[in-house]
């Protein structure tokens, strides 16, 4: 699977790109089942689910996804974490998100951080598909009014997610440019660390979930802030095999 020049130009101009059919139906079902196993009865956002699941660790190292990321950015991309959303309809444990830029938390150099959403359910307007402001990544870091994103218990576990994000002030010239990006299960969605985006809460009566994981990727050799809560860290891609020479 290779990206075209048209894909790369779209990314450059808009700050995001959908790549279709990266995972198949069976894989999507397996990841959903595994997420519910990890969550048990606490169906809410799970940061760094890969630390609780070898299956999700394998997704962070997925060769197809990482090769697409390398090709798109023109640099070797290294996974540094993830965050899983159930987006359950009517849930009081998730609240959607406010307009934000993901790089606010990573604090990486401009263009060094990229997120990749992997959809396990169809993401449609009615169940809270992502809304983006195309081209807003070119603004760099914008003004924001950050507020707490999570309510945690004494063990540091998330028991409720408040509206996620750093609450960006969307510039006037972009307010009428908002679009909804719908995609199907198995699709992936790359977006620039400075792209302004958000998602409304799932209130659909038909679509019970909008399960998705966001993989966090950094250019090899570039710095990022680990975060006191998430403690982001470099994840070995396991695609370099050393050759032992025996004399």
Give yes or no for a contact between 176 and 182, defined as CB atoms under 8 angstroms apart. no
Residues 6+ apart with CB under 8 A from 12: none
**Contact 130/236 with Cβ under 8 angstroms?**
no
Radius of gyration over every alpha carbon of the chain, rounded to an integer in angstroms: 18
Looking at residue 131, its pLDDT comes to 98
Q: What is the pLDDT of residue 240?
A: 78
Asked if residue 33 lies in contact with residue 153, where contact means CB atoms within 8 angstroms, the answer is no
pLDDT of residue 167: 93
Residues of the chain with pLDDT under 50: none
* Per-residue pLDDT, 30: 98
In this prediction, residue 154 carries a pLDDT of 87
Return the pLDDT at 188: 98
Q: Are 100 and 166 in contact (CB under 8 A)?
A: yes
Query: ∠ CA(52), CA(36), CA(188), 5° rounding?
Result: 80
Token pair recorded at residue 76: 């070797």
User: Which residues on neighbouring strands pair with residue 113, listed in sequence order?
Assistant: 218
Task: Please write the tens of the pLDDT for every residue from 41-61.
Answer: 999 999 999 999 999 999 999
**Residue pair 113/224 in contact by the 8 Å Cβ criterion:** yes
- The first and second tokens of residue 50, run together, are 């890969």
| Res 104: pLDDT | 96
Residue 98: count of CB within 10 angstroms of its CB: 19
Token pair 């660790």 is found at: 57
Cβ atoms of 213 and 49 closer than 8 Å: yes
């Amino acid at each position: 699977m290779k990206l075209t020049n048209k894909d790369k130009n779209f990314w450059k101009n808009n700050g995001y790109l959908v790549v279709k059919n990266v995972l198949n139906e069976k894989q999507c079902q397996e990841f959903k089942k595994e997420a519910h196993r990890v969550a048990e009865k606490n169906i809410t956002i799970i940061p760094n689910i890969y630390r609780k699941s070898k299956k999700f660790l394998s997704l962070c190292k997925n060769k197809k996804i990482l090769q697409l990321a390398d090709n798109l950015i023109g640099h070797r991309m290294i996974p540094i974490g993830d965050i899983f959303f159930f987006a359950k309809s009517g849930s009081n444990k998730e609240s959607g998100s406010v307009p934000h830029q993901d790089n606010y938390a990573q604090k990486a150099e401009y263009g060094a951080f990229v997120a990749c959403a992997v959809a396990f359910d169809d993401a449609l307007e009615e169940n809270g598909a992502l809304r983006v402001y195309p081209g807003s990544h070119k603004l760099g870091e914008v003004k924001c009014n950050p507020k707490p994103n999570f309510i945690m218990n004494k063990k540091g576990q998330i028991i409720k997610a408040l509206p996620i994000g750093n609450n960006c002030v969307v510039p006037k010239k972009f307010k009428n440019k908002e679009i909804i990006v719908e995609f199907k299960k198995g699709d992936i969605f790359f977006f620039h660390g400075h792209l302004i985006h958000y998602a409304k809460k799932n209130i659909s009566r038909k679509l019970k979930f909008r399960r998705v994981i966001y993989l966090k990727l950094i250019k090899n050799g570039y710095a990022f802030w680990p975060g006191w809560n998430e403690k982001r860290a470099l994840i070995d891609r396991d695609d370099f095999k050393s050759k032992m020479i025996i004399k």
